[in-house]
Structure 1
Amino acid sequence: MKPAPKLFSAVSAMALALTPAVSGGLVLNLLTAEAAHAAVANAISVRGNSRVASSTIADLIGFRAGKNYSAADIDDVVKQLFATGLFSDVNVSVSGSTLVVSVQESSVVNQVIFRGNRKLKDNRLRSVVRLQPRSAFDQSTLDADIQAIVESYSRIGRADVIVDASVVDLGEGRVNVVFDIQEGDRTKITQINFVGNNAFSDRRLQSVISTKKSNPLSWFTRTDIYDEQRLAADEEQLRRFYFNHGYADFRILSSGATVDPATGNIIVNIEVDEGERYTFGNVDIDSTVTGVDTEDLQRTVATRSGAVYSAEDVEDTLIEMSERLAANGFPFAEVTPVGNRNFETRTIDVSYVVDQGQRAFIERIEIVGNSRTRDYVIRREFDLAEGDAFNQILLRRAQKRLEALDFFERVDISTRRGSAPDRVIIVVNAVDKSTGEFGIGAGYTTGAENSGVSVEGNITERNFLGRGQTLRLAAGGGLDSRTYNMSFTEPYFLGYRLAATFSGFRRTRDYDEYDQATTGGSISFGLPITEELKADIGYLFQQDEYSDVDPTAPTSIQADEALGAWTKSAVTYGLTYNTIDNVQDPHEGLYFRVNQEIAGLGGDASHISTKFVGNYYRTLSEEADLVGSLKLGGGHIEGLGQSVRTYDHFRLGPKQIRGFAYNGIGPTEQGPAGVGEHLGGKTYLHASAEAQFPLPALPRDLGFKGAIFADAATLFGHDSTTALNTDMEWRASAGFGLIWQSPFAPLRFNYAIPLKKEDGDEEQRFNFSVSTAF
């Protein structure tokens, strides 16, 4: 057989040496020889089939009487029949004028049986295998199913699973497929090692990634399972973290896992090169597009000279600048950041270059991966639609919005070429996650009155029926009170980026001198002005009813509370600014809200109420993961042509100053034995300072953090002439807290000691709350 290549070479050389006339004759002879092998088939004969009808086979291959069947045609027939999966062997030939098709039918799967599986139930395994009852059996499919089962077990931490498959022949072309599974022990991640990190400790970097070491709660969280896709996502999280903290040269040199031969557990190793830390140098804009106003674009720049380099600030600038250009009539303009490193000064000069980009349009947006969230919920977060000018920067804004919804495990947006060179197809891969939350809070009040335990609970679904809507139900109470609340939020009311919230509530409380029941509802609309700034406006109606009023009650209660039904009809409006990086575990950012309520549009109440609150977070030490926060708040209510009734005055509690009970400070009424019921106040101010830090004695993966804090507040002023203690008197407290980022979500326990208080104040030193996801 070895001379064959030489023969082929000789023939090839000879063919090249032939004259055109001779070569043409050779080609003609070859074509004639091929034609001789073709035959006209006027009939078809099918042999070996028992379940599949001959007519069905003829239809499958598209048989037509009188057709010439060459060798290529016969080869196509064989491929078509094999592609159906109905046959394990196919032979096709032409005999005279008859096309002869001989087949051996594949066995049909009668049952798929799993044995030895406990951790993954039958339904779960059936969803990952391709062999199903009444499907055709195929050995290659069986091999693929074995691998699919192994991968499913690997994803739950059982990489040493053993899967054996057997085929039981039942006769008459039917078989049972049996998978025998030895699940083995769960493989855990016992170590996560970082190499090359100097700026940040292992504990700090472990808080950035989602892969965790095994701990007593890993049976629930399953974050100690090694997954290559998760590790790849963790690499990207590390890059973002370093790039946003000034390390523009950061690289991941290697990452992977090794198996401890003694235990079979996994050790994850990540080697990094941090590089130097940079600050921003000169920042300018260079435009080659005629008509672009660079001074106008300068207002969109979020990068400031002298600030620590942050890739996120550069990205935010690109997004804002691209939107401004599109709004000004330059939809195809592209903004490219050009950085120039100065290694001596450790600065990066950034120039935003504006060029005319390639004219490309969006052909369509494809959405995959979402099993629960509706497609339109994802589409509406895009400022782009089919037919619009393609803009890569605005795609990144859409991705940030989708990630901010917190509906998905991950969001990946990619592009591919469309039906023409100037058409682009956008592919969005969004994998759903649990969006239900359960919350519970409790406290214990000590003091002269109303002492005891109070409990609150709520259930929230943030992606109701996959429509992006929020439904919340809450209830709570103590010895003498009950509260019930329900709210529903549609984030895109009537198809616009306008959030509409409808709520209803009922509150009851038994006071010493009377009982009170409040029923009402509200509707509000929230409109985003920018990504950080939002405005809202709403309407509130409530009715208060009083019963069992003590005839000997103080005059203010007799005057304000014993009026039967009291109604309030009010308009509310406000502004909210929010740059917090992570709501569950904030490290950086500012939250500020101011709102007003004007009552008097009908009803009995007539007043104007103003409130504000601000939270500021900053990382004090990256190495120690020490986070500081400051909180300020205040409010004032003033009657419009009438006195403010007692119930509409402000009341403070642990949310404003820890260590004191709700309605435990402020003006009071004269009681039979001295200081009586707290009446609330017209003006309040409060401030808090806090530092949060990891607990050094516990592994970071357990999610525990400590906190020390100091609070101060004052509540003063009252429209009742008989109210006592109405002067501005400050209260202060200090204490410590324990924060647990549990598998269910953050839980917090506080213990606060009042440092400055007044007679009659009610203490609540212990307080805890938990918000949990299910």
Structure 2
Amino acid sequence: MKAGSKFLNAVSAVALSAGVSSIAALGVLASAGVANAAVVSRIDVRGAERSGADAVRSNITIAPGRNFSNSDIDESVKRLYATGYFSNVSMRVAGNALVVTVSENNLVNQVVFNGNRKIKDDKLQAVVQTQSLGPYDQTIVTADIARIKEAYANIGRSDVQVTTQVVPVGQGRVNLAFQINEGERTKIARIDFVGNNAYSDGRLAAVINTKKSNMLSFLTRKDVYNEDKLRADEESLRQFYYNRGYADFRVVSSNAVLDEATNEYTVTITVDEGQRYDFGNVAVESTVPGIDGSQLQGLVYTKSGSYYSAKEVQQSMEAISKRVAAEGYPFARVTPRGDRDLAGNTIGLTYIVDQGERAYVERIEIRGNTRTRDYVIRREFDISEGDAFNQTVISAAKRRLEALGYFSKVNISTSQGSAPDRVVIVVDVEDQPTGSFGIGAGYSQNDGALLEASIEEKNFLGRGQYIRVAAGAGQDDARSYTLSFTEPYFLGYRLAAGFDIFKSQSSKEEFYNYDEQGFSLRVTAPITENLGTTFKYTYKQFSYDGKGDWNNPANLAAPYRDLIAGGDWSQSIISNTLNYNTLDDRNMPREGWQAALTNEFAGLGGDSEYYKIYGKVRYYHSLSDEYDIIGSLTGQAGYVVPTGDNLYVFDQFKIGGRVIRGFKNDGIGPRIGSDAIGGTTYFAASAEVTAPMPLVPEDVGLRLAGFVDAGTLYGNKVANSAGVQDDSSIRASAGIGIMWASPFGPLRVDYAVPIAKESYDEEQRFRFGMSNTF
């Protein structure tokens, strides 16, 4: 009896289905004769052979010696049904006793799944509510069938069929088998847009995450129809239009129709673009004593005459709110007030700064995270329990959470706390896969075929940590191994600390064997929203095993002669890098700046002693929103100077095809014969235009690029003048490329022709490998 009571109490919180309520009501009506009963002296239980009478008594609200009514009986019947252990419950009064008669459900001995290949047993077991040693309830089983179908629909198998088989095994127990016919993958045949005039169907198809089925859809899974996914696509379209001047844009409707004959969806999204607006007059007004609105004008991102952008409005609100809070007004509220001029197609904007209502954060409630730890979510908020409530800070936290890439959905809402001036922040998230396995391949005439395999996890163990393990192999016995780890909130602060361990080796048959190994320690701290700084320490050990004499050793300074002969070397380097990033999209930037400036010093031990400074800046600008044509300009430069007696070959800069396409990796700059010996000074510039590949749907991810590169490398501190070819003349090339955002990672193929070069430079017109935006 006692064991049954504990077992029943453990499941008494099972949700009551709609059908059970009606059955309970019938039970109460059948027992209407107890309406006038006030008190009973005992409760008799009949039929509870497995669960026990004590378990039944503990799940009803009626107790001996205490008044009760029909509402108590109704509530007691509901509670007993809600346990799931009873198929029938009735109550009646007999003399001084309340008689409770129950019919027990069968118990589930075992739950099995048959026919499932695409979703494993453990995943399905987590989906269904029917569990081993629990009650068999047909209502719950029917709901479990619907849950299994939904799980399959989420992986693109909407025509899955699920049936059940119940096998009695004696003593009131049954085995339950879910028979699953997974069917074929449900595809998306078409995605149609209705009402769009400013942008083509292909341009809008590139904005949304739902994609038309193609031959690689089995890898990307982006052709899986999901209603929640379609709602997210609607929001993506809104943001796309809102940030490009269409303040009145709305999604009229979106739906998907399944053709059961072909098992394919047709998705139709109807939009109303409205007219395009520019910003009119922009001003800041303040009602907060001591805060002058005109002094906040410089914080505003929205400029008169430019296209309306909801993103710039939000950035302006956040910047003003932070400044006012720093002045000692944590409750200040920033509200944009728009003034539409329909005739002139402008929206005048005034940011109103007022005191706001005094409200405090009572608690931050996090829901839906099944993998990510609560503290990983909490640390993205710049406020905590007890702080002044600020809606602008909440918006910034939402943006950070979405940028993490850990969640498929992030919603933040507020509710009333325990007092009028208390607010509860409710964060609803939905975890998504964050691990990936990648295989990268490339080929260059200099290094031959290259292959790299990697495993990457952005949310390691749900702690928000990043880890990557990679191994590569190529021709000439080339091997490489790397291990990287990053803790984004080191010691509880917004400091990204991590390390890298690396090892590589190669063998140039006619020249040398090369072996390198080492590690790096790094920490990155934010300065502003867009600016950060990284401090790094790197230690390398490497060895050269020389083969033959590289041309004429007599022409070389001592350090280079030593290197040819072979030997072991080491570098101990400290560096600081300033990073600036305003790109609108990390994967496919269309607007913004990206820049980095590094100061590097070698000499804290090791053989190298030098100071280096080098940097790179790149600017993106959308040349045509309608046709998705993107332009970019890149500039970079570097200089190294010895701080000791020698500057070795491996201390100097070497550039080539990675900077000026059309040349080998170390194809330009000072040389002795065919050997690159590096230079002390370089600078380079590039201009590039990319557009979607003609006649190919934009959502395939293929883009065509045209580019012009130019630059030079000169100045050598290693070799004597005799025999050294060194010229500071400009090298230049022009070419075309194909970029593909493939399921395996970004791939790029370039063909470039040198149009300005020296006779001793080495060309490589064709390049294939992983694309890199910086």
TM-score by length of 1: 0.88
Name the CA distance, whole Å, in 2 between partners of 1:137 and 1:239.
47
The aligned residue for residue 588 of structure 1 is 591
SS at match of 1:132: coil
The aligned residue for residue 12 of structure 2 is none
The aligned residue for residue 599 of structure 1 is 602
1:664 has 2:660 as partner = no
Aligned partner of 1:466 among 459, 462, 467 = 462
The aligned residue for residue 520 of structure 2 is 522
C-alpha contact (below 8 Å) 1:373/1:432 kept by paired residues:
no
The aligned residue for residue 386 of structure 1 is 385
Name the CA distance, whole Å, in 2 between partners of 1:220 and 1:589.
31
Kindly provide the amino acid, as one letter, of the partner of residue 465 in structure 1: L
Structure 1 764/453 Cα, relative in aligned 2: closer, same or farther at 3 Å? Answer: farther
C-alpha contact (below 8 Å) 2:248/2:275 kept by paired residues:
yes
1:503 has 2:506 as partner = no
The aligned residue for residue 623 of structure 2 is 620
1:47 has 2:46 as partner = yes
C-alpha contact (below 8 Å) 1:215/1:701 kept by paired residues:
no
**Most deviating of 509-518 and 320-329:** 509-518
TM-superposed deviation, 1:728: 0.3
1:355 has 2:354 as partner = yes
The aligned residue for residue 539 of structure 1 is 537
Structure 1 92/767 Cα, relative in aligned 2: closer, same or farther at 3 Å? Answer: same
Aligned partner of 2:487 among 461, 475, 490 = 490
The aligned residue for residue 654 of structure 2 is 651
Kindly provide the amino acid, as one letter, of the partner of residue 427 in structure 2: V
Kindly provide the amino acid, as one letter, of the partner of residue 201 in structure 1: S
> C-alpha deviations, 1:518-571, integer Å up to 9, x for none?
443332322111111112223333344444475773443643462754443333
1:265-664 alignment runs, 5 A limit: 265-430=264-429, 431-436=431-436, 438=438, 440-445=440-445, 452-455=448-451, 458-476=454-472, 478-479=475-476, 482-508=479-505, 510=507, 515-548=513-546, 553-556=553-556, 558-560=558-560, 562=562, 564-640=567-643, 642-664=645-667
The aligned residue for residue 107 of structure 2 is 108
Name the CA distance, whole Å, in 1 between partners of 2:539 and 2:168.
74
SS at match of 1:57: helix
Name the CA distance, whole Å, in 2 between partners of 1:74 and 1:458.
63
Structure 1 154/441 Cα, relative in aligned 2: closer, same or farther at 3 Å? Answer: closer
> C-alpha deviations, 1:666-707, integer Å up to 9, x for none?
1012xxxxx241101111111222121111222223222221
Kindly provide the amino acid, as one letter, of the partner of residue 468 in structure 1: G
**Most deviating of 507-516 and 744-753:** 507-516
Kindly provide the amino acid, as one letter, of the partner of residue 744 in structure 2: F
C-alpha contact (below 8 Å) 1:74/1:93 kept by paired residues:
no
SS at match of 2:694: coil
The aligned residue for residue 758 of structure 1 is 758
Q: Percent identity?
A: 48
Name the CA distance, whole Å, in 2 between partners of 1:527 and 1:471.
19
1:198-209 alignment runs, 5 A limit: 198-209=197-208
Structure 1 490/162 Cα, relative in aligned 2: closer, same or farther at 3 Å? Answer: closer
Aligned partner of 1:695 among 682, 693, 696 = 693
Structure 1 453/763 Cα, relative in aligned 2: closer, same or farther at 3 Å? Answer: farther
> C-alpha deviations, 1:342-370, integer Å up to 9, x for none?
12221111100011212111121122333
> C-alpha deviations, 1:361-385, integer Å up to 9, x for none?
1121122333332222221111011
Structure 1 452/76 Cα, relative in aligned 2: closer, same or farther at 3 Å? Answer: closer
SS at match of 1:131: coil
Kindly provide the amino acid, as one letter, of the partner of residue 576 in structure 1: N
TM-superposed deviation, 1:250: 0.9
Structure 1 540/132 Cα, relative in aligned 2: closer, same or farther at 3 Å? Answer: closer
The aligned residue for residue 5 of structure 1 is none
Kindly provide the amino acid, as one letter, of the partner of residue 257 in structure 2: T
**Most deviating of 327-336 and 713-722:** 713-722
Name the CA distance, whole Å, in 2 between partners of 1:537 and 1:570.
11
Give the number of the structure whose alpha-carbon radius of gyration is greater: 1
Structure 1 625/554 Cα, relative in aligned 2: closer, same or farther at 3 Å? Answer: farther
1:75-94 alignment runs, 5 A limit: 75-94=74-93
Name the CA distance, whole Å, in 1 between partners of 2:223 and 2:150.
16
C-alpha contact (below 8 Å) 1:744/1:771 kept by paired residues:
no
**Most deviating of 602-611 and 247-256:** 602-611
C-alpha contact (below 8 Å) 1:735/1:752 kept by paired residues:
yes
**Most deviating of 684-693 and 452-461:** 452-461
> C-alpha deviations, 1:714-759, integer Å up to 9, x for none?
1111013236222202222222222111123312122222233222
SS at match of 1:305: coil
The aligned residue for residue 27 of structure 2 is none
Kindly provide the amino acid, as one letter, of the partner of residue 257 in structure 1: A
C-alpha contact (below 8 Å) 2:725/2:760 kept by paired residues:
no
The aligned residue for residue 23 of structure 1 is none
C-alpha contact (below 8 Å) 2:439/2:451 kept by paired residues:
no
TM-superposed deviation, 1:329: 0.9
SS at match of 1:321: helix
Q: CA RMSD in A?
A: 2.7
TM-score by length of 2: 0.88
Name the CA distance, whole Å, in 2 between partners of 1:524 and 1:120.
41
Kindly provide the amino acid, as one letter, of the partner of residue 762 in structure 1: E
SS at match of 2:299: coil
Name the CA distance, whole Å, in 2 between partners of 1:630 and 1:695.
21
Name the CA distance, whole Å, in 1 between partners of 2:582 and 2:34.
77
1:157-236 alignment runs, 5 A limit: 157-236=156-235
**Most deviating of 347-356 and 684-693:** 684-693
> C-alpha deviations, 1:55-81, integer Å up to 9, x for none?
332333366443344444433432332
Structure 1: runs of 5 or more not aligned: 1-32, 670-674
C-alpha contact (below 8 Å) 2:553/2:561 kept by paired residues:
no
The aligned residue for residue 717 of structure 1 is 715
Name the CA distance, whole Å, in 1 between partners of 2:119 and 2:439.
30
C-alpha contact (below 8 Å) 1:407/1:435 kept by paired residues:
no
> C-alpha deviations, 1:199-236, integer Å up to 9, x for none?
11100000000111111112222222221111111010
Kindly provide the amino acid, as one letter, of the partner of residue 287 in structure 2: T
1:685 has 2:686 as partner = no
Name the CA distance, whole Å, in 2 between partners of 1:166 and 1:506.
57
Name the CA distance, whole Å, in 1 between partners of 2:450 and 2:134.
60
The aligned residue for residue 734 of structure 1 is 734
Name the CA distance, whole Å, in 1 between partners of 2:659 and 2:164.
64
Name the CA distance, whole Å, in 2 between partners of 1:472 and 1:51.
53
Structure 1 184/491 Cα, relative in aligned 2: closer, same or farther at 3 Å? Answer: closer
**Most deviating of 748-757 and 709-718:** 748-757
SS at match of 1:337: strand
C-alpha contact (below 8 Å) 1:590/1:616 kept by paired residues:
yes
C-alpha contact (below 8 Å) 1:455/1:478 kept by paired residues:
no
SS at match of 2:339: strand
SS at match of 1:299: helix
Structure 1 126/52 Cα, relative in aligned 2: closer, same or farther at 3 Å? Answer: same
C-alpha contact (below 8 Å) 1:416/1:425 kept by paired residues:
yes
TM-superposed deviation, 1:193: 0.9
**Most deviating of 497-506 and 242-251:** 497-506
Number of aligned residues: 731
Kindly provide the amino acid, as one letter, of the partner of residue 520 in structure 1: G
The aligned residue for residue 21 of structure 1 is none
Name the CA distance, whole Å, in 1 between partners of 2:522 and 2:232.
38
Structure 1 278/437 Cα, relative in aligned 2: closer, same or farther at 3 Å? Answer: farther
Name the CA distance, whole Å, in 2 between partners of 1:557 and 1:459.
44
Name the CA distance, whole Å, in 1 between partners of 2:387 and 2:64.
52
TM-superposed deviation, 1:508: 4.2
SS at match of 2:445: strand
Structure 2: runs of 5 or more not aligned: 1-31
C-alpha contact (below 8 Å) 1:439/1:771 kept by paired residues:
no
